Structure 1
């Protein structure tokens, strides 16, 4: 379970402040994968970052006794002068026991398929190589909740198929908090949905298809 209490988040903009959320309170049930639905700028990614502890609210709090991942595929935290192996070892020391360290590094090395580049500095990687390393690193650890923001697969068709397979495996034992422009992806992986339409208007739906239908209906209405 993830409980959000009186959450307010804003950013300074010319002429004042823009409130992404204002006094938001809701509870996400345990064991349920959640689709976050809303137009661009509604606050979906901001909410994920706050749940993951990457961003902080102005006030309020997020409570959970469950383990929560960093956003899957996030590569901004890599140290460019260190090799892929060294970056993976650094993260593994934080999230795994000493006995599991070699196993985690070996998993990422095999999954990312970077060959000799695994032992070369991250700054020499292409964006695709960084994504493969980051995705493999995210999948190396067991979390109760995985935060997924638009990234479910990377690379060529064969590698994307590999990503989808491990994602399906993770979904059997863990819950996802997911943002995606692919509505079919949300249907495939999520059990319930949040429609985020404004800082004070977040609605919970127990059916993802129903939530998508309502969202598309409102979007069509707002065009006219």
Structure 2
């Protein structure tokens, strides 16, 4: 007779966290952030609401961790399927083509309902909650922005971008227009628009004869 094996509490905890993450993302997508509650997340995940309050101080904190976890899972899938290990901006030697590829992918993500709803919710909460805003920048925005800095510096070294250009300022010429159009819903966010943003930005960054 095999000895009794104690339940693996860490595995059970991981399952509960994953269920809570999935529930939070699903509810925000279905009913919106304002109507998503801790009670609703708990019911959807099949856990007690005290379990959630023990791990997170607010629904915004739950959503933040859920969003980060979703990104980590997507990255892991990309690794196993050959979708790219470093998840950086390609460096093919053609800066315009590389940036267009990445901005088109960004457009697709922002137009994906599963990503759009939690991103809008976190963006709004980050404006009014300084602590959440700092975490939002540190964990979500900054790693992505650094990818642009790295690629633009590589372009400077290759002579594609003027040496006096500040990569940190230059990346805002690429990111800000897409973010502005997406946040305000002024006009459709499309691949053609992403391409035009790159073309307009690079006219001001490129080395001139």
Normalised-by-shorter TM-score class: under 0.3
Q: Greater RCO between the two (CA within 8 Å, min separation 6)? A: 1
Task: Say which structure is richer in strand.
Answer: 1
TM-score by length of 1: 0.22
Q: Which structure would you say has the larger Rg?
A: 2
Task: Say which structure is richer in helix.
Answer: 2
TM-score by length of 2: 0.23
